[in-house]
């Protein structure tokens, strides 16, 4: 787990700072990012980052203190920002709730520091309170839009706009409060854009309300996020939020390519990167990650490696042939593996683009029947011309009819079959539903996140 927002230099930690840091490490914190709010705290953040390998720092001027940000201080901030452990400019932004600095001066300081982040190619940590419209107006005009909306104060539409602009959203202790809207808002955000934070010593989780917050209480935030995203386990949320924070701040998080990977109770086998389609929304065109797993293969895995990879996992409830490419390009391997995986006594699922019969020049569903239990077929579009446009199939526009035929044949042969579509703007989901209904096959609609 990673705490993307700590104030460990604050006086609340004066009596036991090192103990808190060590305890947080013992309890599983991989990294912490200590946030500067003015010159002194930016310096103190760098000092902590120099002392502890797993602590990184940000430097910047909080909106409250904007009135004190002179050009010479900004120049000092710029020098500090070149330190190798400084990963962002922040926290910067607008706070029109407390208005400790005049609003026009806050805006000026905000823009100057955004310029600095651009110049140094650093992300930003944003503190915005009762000023989302004004802050978004400024941010939407920027080219470099990498960073974190910290202690996110908005509702779902603001979260969606923040995501669209390119930002990640940090959730912390408040999502555990019974009356907070935070959990609901978190549920509207794609998990690939969520990071965890404490803002310690402030904003403790419900269990410690009224007490001092500390970095290892991130675990309560992760716990809450598993309720928000029931398909994910604690390990999943931990891995996803670590990867997200690592990507934003360029911190060295574990990111090895996976052949066998787990999400929730399902074990997935990443068989190939090849596909007979080239959909723009494919994870391989969008960073190679699925649920925090890196699926970028530099070679196709062999049977022994896969069997060994599966043996490293326990208590999974299904095995899925999936990955970044089209598994039926390796149909022989699927059939051979399926036979050997029977001993696990769990259902076997195939996620496919439905072109397996075209690819293998055979009635593939007939071979899968009795071996594979479930098939999920990507329908991708409501008609063949749309399909050709968005999936660019190697087999041409007629592939669409073949996909529907493939799914129908699977159903006919007794395989539990479903269609899936990704909710991209180009397609009409209701029309897709009609196509699926026409084939008597249920449709699963998956969310799409524009990068």
Give the footprint of ligand SF4 on this chain (CB under 6 A): 275, 277-279, 282, 325-326, 353, 378, 391
CA 383 and chain centroid, separation: 31
Q: How far is the CB of 114 from ligand SF4 (least distance, A)?
A: 35
Contact 139, 164 (CB under 8 A): no
Q: How far is the CB of 203 from Zn ion (least distance, A)?
A: 9
The Cα 215–Cα 23 span in angstroms is 9
Q: How far is the CB of 118 from ligand SF4 (least distance, A)?
A: 34
**Paired residues of 196 in beta bridges:** 171
Stretch that binds Zn ion, among 193-201, 238-246, 408-416, 430-438 (CB under 5 A): 193-201
Contact 355, 328 (CB under 8 A): yes
Contact 46, 86 (CB under 8 A): yes
The Cα 440–Cα 368 span in angstroms is 20
Q: How far is the CB of 396 from ligand SF4 (least distance, A)?
A: 15
Q: Are strands 260-263 and 194-196 parallel, antiparallel or unpaired?
A: unpaired
Site size for Zn ion (CB under 5 A): 1
Q: How far is the CB of 151 from Zn ion (least distance, A)?
A: 7
Q: Which of 195, 204, 201 is nearest to 169 (CA)?
A: 195
Stretch that binds Zn ion, among 137-145, 195-203, 290-298, 349-357 (CB under 5 A): 195-203
Which listed option, Zn ion, ligand SF4, none, makes contact with residue 278 (CB within 5 to 8 Å by class)?
ligand SF4
Which listed option, Zn ion, ligand SF4, none, makes contact with residue 308 (CB within 5 to 8 Å by class)?
none
Which listed option, ligand SF4, Zn ion, none, makes contact with residue 122 (CB within 5 to 8 Å by class)?
none
Using the minimum distance from each CB to ligand SF4, give the nearer residue, 95 or 326.
Answer: 326
Which residue's beta carbon is nearest to the bound ligand SF4? 282
Torsions phi, psi for 32 (to 5 deg): -130, 145
Token output for 278: 């080239």
Which listed option, Zn ion, ligand SF4, none, makes contact with residue 391 (CB within 5 to 8 Å by class)?
ligand SF4
Stretch that binds Zn ion, among 183-191, 194-202, 247-255, 361-369 (CB under 5 A): 194-202
Contact 353, 324 (CB under 8 A): no
Q: How far is the CB of 278 from ligand SF4 (least distance, A)?
A: 5
Contact 30, 4 (CB under 8 A): no
Q: Which residue ranges make up the site for Zn ion (CB under 5 A)?
A: 199
């Amino acid at each position: 787990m990673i705490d993307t927002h700590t104030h460990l230099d604050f006086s609340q930690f004066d009596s036991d700072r090192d103990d808190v840091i060590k305890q947080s490490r013992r309890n599983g914190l991989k990294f912490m990012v200590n946030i500067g709010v003015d010159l002194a705290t930016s310096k103190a953040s760098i000092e902590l980052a120099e002392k502890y390998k797993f602590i990184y720092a940000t430097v910047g001027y909080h909106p409250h203190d904007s009135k004190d940000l002179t050009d010479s201080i900004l120049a000092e901030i710029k020098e500090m920002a070149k330190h190798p452990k400084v990963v962002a400019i922040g926290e910067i932004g607008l706070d029109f709730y407390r208005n400790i600095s005049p609003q026009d001066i806050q805006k000026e300081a905000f823009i100057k520091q955004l310029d600095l982040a651009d110049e140094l190619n650093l992300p930003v940590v944003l503190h915005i309170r009762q000023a989302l419209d004004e802050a978004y107006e400024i941010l939407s005009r920027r080219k470099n839009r990498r960073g974190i909306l910290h202690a996110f104060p908005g509702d779902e539409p603001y979260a969606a706009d923040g995501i669209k602009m390119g930002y990640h959203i940090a959730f912390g202790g408040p999502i555990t409060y019974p009356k907070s809207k935070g959990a609901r808002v978190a549920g509207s955000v794609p998990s690939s854009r969520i990071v965890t934070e404490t803002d310690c010593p402030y904003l403790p989780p419900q269990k410690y309300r009224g007490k001092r917050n500390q970095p290892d209480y991130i675990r309560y935030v992760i716990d809450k996020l598993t309720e928000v995203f029931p398909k994910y386990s604690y390990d999943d949320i931990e891995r996803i939020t670590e990867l997200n924070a690592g990507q934003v701040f360029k911190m060295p998080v574990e990111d090895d390519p996976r052949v066998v990977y787990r999400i929730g109770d399902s074990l997935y086998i990443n068989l190939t990167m090849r596909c007979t389609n080239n959909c723009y929304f494919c994870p391989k065109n969008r960073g190679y990650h699925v649920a925090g797993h890196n699926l970028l293969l530099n070679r196709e895995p062999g049977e022994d490696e896969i069997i060994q990879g599966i043996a490293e996992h326990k208590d999974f409830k299904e095995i899925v042939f999936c990955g970044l490419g089209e598994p039926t390009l390796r149909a022989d391997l699927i059939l051979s593996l399926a036979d050997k995986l029977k001993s696990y006594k769990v259902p076997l699922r195939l996620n496919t683009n439905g072109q397996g019969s075209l690819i293998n020049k055979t009635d593939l569903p007939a071979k899968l029947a009795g071996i594979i239990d479930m098939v999920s077929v990507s329908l991708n579009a409501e008609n063949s011309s749309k399909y050709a446009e968005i999936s660019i199939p190697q087999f041409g526009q007629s592939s669409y009819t073949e996909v529907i035929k493939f799914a129908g044949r699977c159903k006919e042969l007794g395989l539990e079959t479903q269609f899936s579509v990704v909710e991209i703007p180009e397609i009409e989901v209701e029309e897709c539903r009609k196509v699926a209904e026409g084939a008597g096959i249920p449709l699963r609609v998956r969310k799409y996140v524009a990068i």
